[in-house]
Structure 1
Amino acid sequence: NPDLLPNITLGFYAYDSCAVLPREIEGTLWMLTGNDRAIPNYRCRESPALSAVIGHSTSTYSMVMAHLLGLYRYPQVSYFSTSPLLSDRTQFPSFFRTVPSDKFQSVGLAQLVLHFQWTWIGLLAPDNDYGQEGIQVIKREIWNSGACVAFTEFIFNGMFFRDLTRIVKVMKDSTATVIVAFSTDIYMILILEEMLRQKVTGKLFVASEAWSISNVLSVEKYSSILTGTMGFAYHSTTIQGFEEYVNNIHPYRTPGLTWAKIFWEEAFGCKFHDEKNFTELPGSLGNVCTGDEQLESLHNTYNDVSSLRFSYNLYTAAHVIAQSLHDLSQCKDWGRELTSKECSTISNFHPWQLLHYIKKVRVKLDNKREVFFDENGDPPAVYDIVNWQRTPEGVIKPVKVGSYDTATSSEDMFSINTSMVRWPRVPLSICSESCPPGFRKVARRGEPICCFQCTPCFSVSDSVDCTKCPWDMWPNTQKDQCIPKAIEYLSYEEPLGMALASTSVSSSVIPVSIFSLFIHYKNTPIVRANNYALSCVLLISLSLCFLCSLAFIGYPQPEKCLLRQAAFGMVFTICVSCILAKTIMVVLAFVATKPGSSLKKWTNPRVSYMIVNVCSFIQLILCIVWLSLSPPFPQYNTQTQPGLIIVECNENSPTAFWFMLGYLGLLATISFVVAFLARRLPDSFNEAKFITFSMLAFLSVWVSYIPASLSARGKYTVAMEIFAIQSSSWALVVCMFAPKCFIIVFRPDMNSKEHLMGKTPNWPPNCTEW
């Protein structure tokens, strides 16, 4: 790159620890010393300076290196160490990596599981830092999302065969069909071999990056188990110009001849002749490398640069260091201007100075991806989501079907093309089947929340709680949606309301007809003898009694609720007051005819009017107090009957209502008692008998109404009161006026003064005149 460190060449030392921890420590000190042996706290090589260290690939070894390098503030960039512990800046202040932390991968794997709505998951991991840390994050994410873990199994180092058998048996017996394996391919081989032995099928693995693209596992032997596996792999890309560079490598013309010869021997499976070893015999080396082999003719992993993953992370690490050195050489800083004394040259700088630039570095690579580090030394996490699919040759191959990129917005962070995913069967990993609409989930005792049973309840699908419908709605038969409740009131449109309304109107005509009859025959003896004025008032009141029942039919509007009970009470009070006045006048008329009686002055018609006015005025006061202090109002009753809104009038004060009705009953009772005592008065037409019958019928109706109204519900309570009004009104009409009308219309011969005085020829001899 001509724009990056122009005229500067970067070199490297390579040290192989052979995965031995003491040699790792020795190699780190060797690089710091700059000599062929390790001398702690000494730097023997002055030039060229050690800029940074790339490595190690294993997290445990990187931690050992980071503890040493951190003491001297030497930048360390790993391309394969993924342990979340390395993000601790207190312990590892100079550690960076171009590979994401396993924390990001664990969160992404949990999101992958939840994306496919798998809620019953098995977890499998080796018993080391890598497995323990990764599984804990996955488990936390799964629980936080509402999914559940069916089992968690750890593969121990040096595991006995019976322990391996037990783990696979747990997997086989579990109802979880999806297993997240946060492991390496070495441990997975043990598990897969045991699964083949126990003939375990029907399980789908979700793979961590450590084995998601493993060539060791993607063979035909394991295809019956691993086909369909989903997993995370490090982001793959191409390096511009790298293919041409690799194909132009030559063992005699490429810088770093030792490395070039090793590469050549591995690529072509040959061996170079060692010129220093004179004991080698011709033909003993087998296939001898000539250097004339053509790399373009090879098609293997050595020159396949179409999908680089680990190499790309190492390539990125080199670019990060190069860009940081370039920024240092340019005396570039962020936020302030540096003085000449503060600037360092590329040939003379301290490790901590380069560390400062690595913390701030931003590198844009050829694939337009920008690399930088957060406060913990971690880069943006970018993973490829792969799906293991069977090829026509019978092997399985990881195919990229999506990506997980934390550098993008939250909406685009997780993307997957489900149409590209291939499974042997659509996996369904749940502990319990979803509850259909109309049922709610009830957890089983002692089991995770994903294991539940369904009980009837109004709810949407998979609801935990019952959903309450609005007050004016209720659940349908399937209990999966709210429907409006039926509204009920005694209306004119329904048969019952029409019948009661027509009966009220037609019945009100009867008292008016009798009133007309009385006006026509007002001068006849039978009309005059029964207090013509009171009879007229009574008849008008009875007609209003029939008509007042119309106020109880139809929608209960506020005006209706306010006045209907008061109107009913007042007109019936006038009726009963008139009957009481007539009763008292009959008794007074009989007593006043006796010689020397002082009650004759009370037989004046004004006394009867006064009785009616006083009795009615008391009821009027009761009604005014009721309507003023606690007026009735319309209400929606949703408690009486499920699924029904009863629109009714709330009397507001039951005490006032029963007080009004009780006063009416008191007047009727007094009338009944007085008429009953006067029933045997010697009158040829004794009205006291008819009053007795009328009051008896009136009281019987309203006494029967009390239990009937308490047992009725909704519109039938209103219908019951209307029936009581009409029945009691008819009782008064029939008992009080039917005999009189019969005589007036059909027996005019009896409508005479002589008949009323008992002077007719047909008068029985045992009757006494008065």
Structure 2
Amino acid sequence: YLNYREQFYKIVQRILREGKRATWGSKCNSSNLFKIPSYIHLIIPFRVVPKNYQHILALSFAVKEINEDPQILPNHTLGFHIYDSYFNAKRTFHATIQLMSTVKKFAPNYICNIQNKLMAVVGGLDPLTSLHVATLIYGPAPVINHKPPGLSFYQMAPKGTLQYTGILSLLLHFGWIWIGILTSNDEYGERFVHTVFPVFSRNGVCIAFIERSSKFTTITDIHERLEKGSQIHETVINSKANVVVAYGESYLIVFLRWFPYLSKHTTNKQKGKVWIVTAQMELTSMVYQQSWETDIIHGVLSFTIHSNDLPGFKSFVKSRNPSNTKGDGFIRDFWQQAFGCVFPDPALNKMDGDVCTGKEKLENLPGTCFEMSLTGHSYSIYNAVYAMAYALHSMCSSRFIHKLLVDKRELNFQDKHLHHFLKGIHFNNSAGDKISFDHNGELVAGFDIINWIISPNQTFHRVKVGKIDPQGPPEKAFSISEDVITWHKWFNQVQPLSLCTEHCNPGFRKKMKEGEPFCCYDCIPCPEGKISEQRDQNDCYECSNENYPNKNQDACIPKAITFLSFEEPLGISLSCLASALSLITIMVLGMFVRHHNTPIIKANNRDLTYILLISLLLCFLCALLFIGQPGKVTCLFRQTAFGIIFSVAVSCVLAKTITVILAFMATKPGSRMRKWVGKRLTNSIMLPCFLAQNGICTVWLVTFPPFPDTNIHSFAEEIVLECNEGSVIMFYCVLSYLGFLAIVSFAVAFFARKLPDSFNEAKFITFSMLVFCSVWLSFIPSYLSSKGKYMVAVEIFSILASSAGLLCCIFAPKCYIIMLRPELNNKEQLIRRKT
């Protein structure tokens, strides 16, 4: 088409200069519209749209029914006039003045026949037409925008805000948040944009583009309008928005049907869009568009005024024929345009084109040209006529009329009287629908959501797929049956997506793009430790303390509850080690009891040896308190028991060391140390050491004792059951006191390690305390760097290792002599001196 644009413009100018005019009877092959200069229909002034002829039939059918019903207006005959607005303000004003003039004379406000007094006007299909009519009837008041109180203006359509809410609900239902808007280039289109834009934005819907279409008004601006149409087409088709909301007058569908021919880069398959059209728009087409392709309007979702099939309407339509219909000044023009034929004219000898026979069938016309089923606008016209009839019926039956008749006064109806009855009207029409107005004069009704389906043979079908019902519960006001929707062929019957950015899957969050609408964003993974469970999350969040993120960071998994148990390998190993060392200690103790009278056992305070062995046995068994699920009792006593028992063991070692030193000092002639050697010395060393540790543990248990606790922070995937030490200061006081005793014992033993005696324990005690101190010095950093049950394992290992060091270093040499070198276990060896 664009290749012939300049040629087309020149032909138009030439026709205007030569004064030539095409007749409606000339046949035009629409499929070759842009190959030959046969498109004069664009610029001829006569612009009847064949599809609108149904509105005339709806009005005529309603009047016919009313006049045939003796119950509505008895003894009265309802009449009507129909005028064509030609989509032109001047012609609309002229027709309105004719309505207010006397019959067959153009004399405004001069009416000499009271029977023909104008009482009501049914406005035009488009808002501007109704506005032009209302301007003359009511004055310059903006009746469409803000109806003044008391103004007798009624809207035969539901509230416009209800339609906007329905569109938003439809968009949100299918997740269409990136849409385009195509409106008429007038104040109504601007008001629509200003109304829906903030509402859509608040609900997460972004506008990809806003385009405004214009009608062809004069010949000279055709070139500009077509160029603008081409730009709009490119914007719509190239946009990522697969959904376009179209709002405007009925001619906007005519503009949409131009789309396939406005592309600069025409392809065999046009990219499909989901068109959502408002109730103001109908499937209409100009005469020259009747055989154009209809793919672009296939799958349209249309908000329409609710309508039902009226009994007898189809039969009434089928009976219409130019040859037997009188008083219809439109039927011959409609017939010629719809069927592409010409009625014979006796003044012409030769006729171009097919001749209309009158036998053509309206039901054979394509749906883009004419429909047998009642459209929403025709249904509104039908209901408007009935509303007027019932209001007149109520007025004629009122006491006001009865009083005039009694007073024998002339009936002089005025529109204010009719308005009084019209505003309270309510009735059920022949289809069973209830018709009434609210306090604002707006129809109390909802909208139907209709899916336009075009069959391959160009048959047009309307399928109801949803509705907006303001009178139902709020949660059921909007309903849609998505399974019965037929989408545009481009989508292969898969529900379309309309997004600026593909959804951010769970595990990701949105990152807004600078300078872009909020619907356009990047998807970035959630940071470590956070998740997002739903799509398109603005931010990620942390799991609760009892859960942790899964690998994909899109769900929270309950943490496993763990503790150092007897069933796991680490617990089994430590418990077996503790049991083995306990058994060895018992064997050593049994060996010492059996050989209790031998010199090697008697030489180093036999009772102190037994106490040390028993304390070491308890140390090994004490380690078992740290294994298993922590309870109140185990938590309360395991650390204190460990501290007290270890203090007894170390104090025994200290007492042994001091005993050895004093024993050698007491052997010197005249030494006064002999009186200190014995149980008196042992008790004076052990008892204070034991009581000091016991006092520390008592204070600990009284002030802030240990208790069972859960550790949820050490491990991301585990909840560790452990014992909270309560007062950490007291815990380290216990360890510090043990360390003090060990260092003192090590120091004393170190200085006494070279005393000349075969059975001198000082050197063995030195090695044992060296092991003991090494273990507990390495325990502190290991304990602080470990977490959860591994802290417990480190402490258990330290208890076992240090106790085993004492057992091995002190008692292994004695066991060796008792078992393998009994000859050395005699008194002579005991008193032998180094030479």
Q: TM-score, normalised by structure 1?
A: 0.83
Offset of residue 735 of structure 1 = 1.9
Contact persistence 1:382–1:406 (CA under 8 A): yes
Please say if 1:708 is aligned against 2:775. no
Please say if 1:574 is aligned against 2:648. yes
- With over 3 angstroms needed to count, the CA separation of the structure-2 counterparts of 1:91 and 1:193, relative to structure 1, is farther
Question: 1:508-532 deviations in whole A, cap 9, x for unaligned?
Answer: 1222222222323333333222112
Residue identity matched to 1:677: F
Please say if 1:680 is aligned against 2:749. no
Contact persistence 1:441–1:454 (CA under 8 A): yes
Mapping of residues 237-636 of structure 1, within 5 Å: 237-245=308-316, 259-260=327-328, 263=331, 267=335, 305-331=372-398, 347-348=411-412, 350-393=414-457, 395=458, 397-409=460-472, 410=474, 411=476, 413-416=478-481, 418-419=483-484, 421-426=486-491, 427-457=496-526, 458-464=531-537, 465-594=539-668, 597-636=671-710
Instruction: Name 2:721's counterpart in structure 1.
Output: 647
- With over 3 angstroms needed to count, the CA separation of the structure-2 counterparts of 1:46 and 1:570, relative to structure 1, is same
Contact persistence 1:212–1:386 (CA under 8 A): no
Contact persistence 1:386–1:398 (CA under 8 A): no
Counterpart selection for 1:6 from 65, 71, 74 = 74
Counterpart selection for 1:62 from 126, 130, 155 = 130
Instruction: Name 2:39's counterpart in structure 1.
Output: none
Residue identity matched to 1:201: Q
Offset of residue 626 of structure 1 = 1.8
Contact persistence 2:362–2:370 (CA under 8 A): no
Offset of residue 667 of structure 1 = 0.7
**Worse overlay, 357-366 or 679-688:** 679-688
Contact persistence 1:219–1:396 (CA under 8 A): no
Residue identity matched to 2:517: P
Q: Which runs of 5+ in 1 are unaligned?
A: 74-82, 274-280
Question: 1:328-365 deviations in whole A, cap 9, x for unaligned?
Answer: 444499xxxx9989x99994555334323322222211
Contact persistence 2:579–2:621 (CA under 8 A): yes
Q: Which has the higher contact order (CA 8 A, sep 6+)?
A: 2
Question: 1:294-350 deviations in whole A, cap 9, x for unaligned?
Answer: 8989866999643344332111111112222333444499xxxx9989x99994555
Distance 1:675 1:642 in 2: 48
- With over 3 angstroms needed to count, the CA separation of the structure-2 counterparts of 1:509 and 1:373, relative to structure 1, is same
Q: Between the two proteins, what is the percent identity of the paired residues?
A: 36
- With over 3 angstroms needed to count, the CA separation of the structure-2 counterparts of 1:296 and 1:155, relative to structure 1, is closer
Please say if 1:228 is aligned against 2:299. yes
Contact persistence 2:119–2:415 (CA under 8 A): yes
Question: 1:169-195 deviations in whole A, cap 9, x for unaligned?
Answer: 323432223333324134335544313
Q: Which runs of 5+ in 2 are unaligned?
A: 1-68, 216-220
Distance 1:114 1:734 in 2: 79
Distance 1:744 1:452 in 2: 84
Distance 1:492 1:501 in 2: 7
Contact persistence 2:111–2:117 (CA under 8 A): no
Instruction: Name 1:80's counterpart in structure 2.
Output: none
- With over 3 angstroms needed to count, the CA separation of the structure-2 counterparts of 1:44 and 1:88, relative to structure 1, is farther
Q: How big is the alpha-carbon RMSD for the aligned residues of Structure 1 and Structure 2?
A: 4.0
Residue identity matched to 2:427: V
SS at match of 1:455: strand
- With over 3 angstroms needed to count, the CA separation of the structure-2 counterparts of 1:252 and 1:6, relative to structure 1, is farther
SS at match of 2:771: helix
Contact persistence 1:690–1:735 (CA under 8 A): yes
Counterpart selection for 2:119 from 42, 48, 51 = 51
Instruction: Name 1:168's counterpart in structure 2.
Output: 233
SS at match of 1:154: strand
Contact persistence 1:178–1:203 (CA under 8 A): no
Contact persistence 1:441–1:453 (CA under 8 A): yes
SS at match of 2:749: helix
**Worse overlay, 213-222 or 646-655:** 213-222
Distance 1:261 1:604 in 2: 142
Offset of residue 723 of structure 1 = 1.4
Offset of residue 568 of structure 1 = 1.0
- With over 3 angstroms needed to count, the CA separation of the structure-2 counterparts of 1:649 and 1:346, relative to structure 1, is farther
Distance 1:490 1:420 in 2: 61
- With over 3 angstroms needed to count, the CA separation of the structure-2 counterparts of 1:743 and 1:451, relative to structure 1, is same
Question: 1:104-156 deviations in whole A, cap 9, x for unaligned?
Answer: 44443444444443332222222112322334445445434423322222235
Question: 1:406-448 deviations in whole A, cap 9, x for unaligned?
Answer: 3453426333353351531324333233334433333333323
Please say if 1:726 is aligned against 2:800. yes
Residue identity matched to 1:462: R
Distance 2:625 2:505 in 1: 48
Q: TM-score, normalised by structure 2?
A: 0.77
Distance 2:70 2:359 in 1: 30
Offset of residue 369 of structure 1 = 1.3
- With over 3 angstroms needed to count, the CA separation of the structure-2 counterparts of 1:246 and 1:230, relative to structure 1, is closer
Offset of residue 539 of structure 1 = 0.9
- With over 3 angstroms needed to count, the CA separation of the structure-2 counterparts of 1:72 and 1:272, relative to structure 1, is farther
- With over 3 angstroms needed to count, the CA separation of the structure-2 counterparts of 1:356 and 1:731, relative to structure 1, is same
Contact persistence 2:322–2:332 (CA under 8 A): yes
Instruction: Name 2:188's counterpart in structure 1.
Output: 130
Distance 1:178 1:3 in 2: 49
SS at match of 1:88: coil
Distance 2:318 2:299 in 1: 35
Please say if 1:203 is aligned against 2:276. no
Distance 1:553 1:62 in 2: 90
Counterpart selection for 2:283 from 201, 213, 220 = 213
- With over 3 angstroms needed to count, the CA separation of the structure-2 counterparts of 1:331 and 1:605, relative to structure 1, is farther
Contact persistence 2:295–2:454 (CA under 8 A): no
Question: 1:181-215 deviations in whole A, cap 9, x for unaligned?
Answer: 32413433554431376448213141344554124
SS at match of 2:72: coil
Contact persistence 2:708–2:722 (CA under 8 A): yes
Distance 2:344 2:542 in 1: 83
Offset of residue 482 of structure 1 = 3.2
Distance 2:452 2:330 in 1: 33
Question: 1:370-403 deviations in whole A, cap 9, x for unaligned?
Answer: 122223322145444344434343x362432424
Residue identity matched to 1:424: K
Instruction: Name 2:246's counterpart in structure 1.
Output: 181
Contact persistence 2:166–2:468 (CA under 8 A): no
SS at match of 2:490: coil
Contact persistence 2:126–2:280 (CA under 8 A): no
Contact persistence 2:817–2:825 (CA under 8 A): yes
